[in-house]
Amino acid sequence: MLSRSLFTTSIKRSAAARVASTRYASTKTLKETLQEVIPAKQEQLKKLKAEHSQAVIGDVKVENIIGGMRGLKAMLWESSVLDPSEGIRFHGLSIPDCQEKLTPAPGGKEIIAESMLWLLMTGQVPTTEQTRQLSKELAEKGELPAFVEQLLDSLPKTLHPMTQLGIGVAALNHDSAFQAAYEKGIKKSEYWTYAFDDCINLLARLPALAARIYRNVYKPGTELPKIDKELDLVGNYTRMLGFGDNQNMTEYLRLYIALHGDHEGGNASAHTAHLVGSTLADPYIAYSAALYALAGPLHGLANQEVLRWQQAMQKELGENVSHEQIKEYLWKTLKSGQVVPGYGHGVLRNPDPRFLALQQFCESRPELMESSTIQLVKKTSEVAPGVLMEHGKTKNPYPNVDATSGCVLYHYGLTEYKYYTVIFGVSRALGCITQLTWARALGLPLERPKSVSMGALEQLVKSSWPNVA
């Protein structure tokens, strides 16, 4: 029989062991949190398959097939849903909700990429400790392999920055944990853990990769600072770009990258990452493909087109432009057969909440409100919807996020238009790596829609509608 002192010591040791083996929620890593969240989602998907696989959720029309599949509900994407009226929600949280709830950087006010990634991945709002922990992990993994640095440095300076970014990301697959594990042979239930590791390493290295491209193309010979292990992802990115002394620029890029991180799965870059990832290509290969989708003029290049158009207007009309002058310039643009860049959206039918958030950022900074370029953006947003509604050829006459995003970058001194999409590429990784992780965790299949020819489509129409000529 144990004496009282020995019994008490035994109880204390047992309690200490239990505490040591238990991770408090506020200290769990992102991967540990995912390990808890994933089983519930797997069970939800299993139930959907078993009980509702034959439920009809929409009709396919000819216009869907020949119109780029626009509007078809045909893709699973867990992290965000885009409503035509309300705009984007991340696991049910609106942009204002995120600005209120998600952790900023120390001394800052804007959302940081780490807190947005945690929300996208887990559906949970992270604690300050968790985001700081994730920042440190990303900083620790942020250095580029020497061979990737040499590869980037060997590329022609005239090669488009987005092409260089895709090359750099694809080259990182040399060290892919998923590819190595798959070749050795692993259970499907373990796919997500290796895909997740690749995704975190990819995100961690994107700032150094993107900053090196900026240095090589626009600031050759400039020394690149080392990653500061105490800074968040975007804090380091801004510092490596050479804007680390401008706190307003750093805060703007934090907000920009968080807001651009995810916009449901149907946009071209996100869909491409998902499609290529569905072949079990590793996350580096999948995301490099997404970057080339983002590089198209109808997708990621939009904000530089806005800036060009705004500057052309300013050059023609001068500094103090009136609403009436803007109206006349808008009609001139439309009557020439051109579109007004920065207005309209493939899904939204109201002003883009991301545009509203960036405008609020501008209105809180006196130096931005004194900028003639930013003032022109604001005045245009007040005039353009009325003109576009009167013109009658757009489903959404309201400003989207591109109407202002590039103009703020230009004001803060990042004036190289061709680089803007690279910043978009750094941000869009947040949503894509989330989906790549979850696609492997849920065991989603190879994506393989059925295609039809115009002749086959005509026959389908005739068989469904016999009276159609």
| Strand 80-83 to 87-90 pairing | antiparallel
Do 257 and 234 contact (CB within 8 A), yes or no? yes
Residue 83 bears catalytic tag: no
Candidates 232, 345, 352, 411; catalytic one: 345
Residue range 356-368, pLDDT digits in tens: 999 999 999 999 9
Residue 402 bears catalytic tag: yes
**Site of tokens 């300013």:** 314
Query: Rounded CA gap, 396 and 339, in Å?
Result: 13
Q: Where are the domains of the chain?
A: 27-51+64-300+420-469, 302-411
**Three-class SS of residue 121?**
helix
Query: Rounded CA gap, 381 and 379, in Å?
Result: 5
> How far are the Cα atoms of 74, 91, 155 from residue 71, in angstroms, in the given order?
9, 20, 40
- pLDDT at position 12, please? 44
Residues 302-411: name the CATH superfamily: Cytochrome P450-Terp, domain 2 (1.10.230.10)
Residue 391 bears catalytic tag: no
Candidates 197, 262, 352, 402; catalytic one: 402
Residue range 203-224, pLDDT digits in tens: 999 999 999 999 999 999 999 9
Look over the chain and give the mean of its residue pLDDT values, rounded to a whole number: 91
Residue range 342-352, pLDDT digits in tens: 898 777 778 89
Do 89 and 105 contact (CB within 8 A), yes or no? no
Angle, helices 161-171/420-441, rounded to nearest 10 degrees: 30
- Report the Cα–Cα distance between both ends of the chain, in Å, rounded: 96
Query: Rounded CA gap, 109 and 456, in Å?
Result: 56
| Whether pTM exceeds 0.85 | yes
Residues 27-51+64-300+420-469: name the CATH superfamily: Citrate Synthase, domain 1 (1.10.580.10)
Candidates 91, 160, 299, 391; catalytic one: 299
Query: Rounded CA gap, 145 and 173, in Å?
Result: 11
